[in-house]
Amino acid sequence: MWNYKIKKVSVFSVFKFTLLYGVIIGAVLGLIGGLFGSIGDARFFGLGVFGGLIFGIIYGVMLALISAFGTWIFNLISGVIDGIDIELEKKDE
């Protein structure tokens, strides 16, 4: 078992990951909401499929910005409290 510390995380790396993840998840859920909201008289906030897709993209961008801010805060706090201890175990191949 190896003991390590997480002392710093790349803000841009977290931003890129959560942007892609958020846009994909948000777009899929927005499209589903737009499709099911368009059935009958009910509308997904009156926006339909296109509105659901736009909502999903906005969700992804907001998630990425909030995650990047959280990562930046982690890096600031990590300098004060000396990071997060983790324990790794080597996998037998």
pLDDT in tens, 8-31: 999 999 999 999 998 888 888 877
| Average pLDDT estimate for 51-62 | 83
Q: Does the predicted model carry a pTM greater than 0.85?
A: no
Distance, CA of 87 to CA of 4 (rounded, Å) = 6
Q: Is the pLDDT of residue 72 over 90?
A: yes
**SS3 of 84, please?**
strand
The residue written with tokens 């736009």 in the block is 54
Which residue from 64, 67, 43, 47 is spatially nearest to 55, judged by alpha carbons?
A: 47
Report phi then psi at 3, rounded to 5.
Answer: -105, 130
Per-domain residue ranges of the chain: 2-88
Distance, CA of 85 to CA of 3 (rounded, Å) = 7
Question: What is the structure's pLDDT at 37?
Answer: 63
Q: What is the mean pLDDT of the chain?
A: 82
